[in-house]
Amino acid sequence: MALSKTIIKSIDLAGDVSIPCYIKVDGFNGTKSEILFHVVFRKNTADGEFVKHTHYQMVPDLESPDNFIKQAYEHLKTLPEFAGATDV
């Protein structure tokens, strides 16, 4: 499971550049009250060139039939910066 989205990244001497990214939740840490998860952006594919990484947090739904990984992807798709992201 992953997401696909073109992002805009500011690069020295080149300005803003559009980069099609493969976005993967790469790790978790937390409790039943809050989960912090690590997200990695790579160019085009799962093993493409590293673009960036960042962290997000969410409150897990312990009653959901979906596991925390699925919940993390669904949470990302609710954020404005992931508008238009598609499942891969």
Domain boundaries along the sequence of the chain: 3-79
Distance CA 22, CA 86 (A): 10
pLDDT grade, residue 83 (50/70/90)? very high
CB-based burial of residue 33 (10 Å sphere; 0-12 exposed, 13-18 middle, 19+ buried)?
A: exposed
- State the pLDDT confidence band at 28, using cuts at 50, 70 and 90: very high
**Strand, coil or helix: what is 69?**
helix
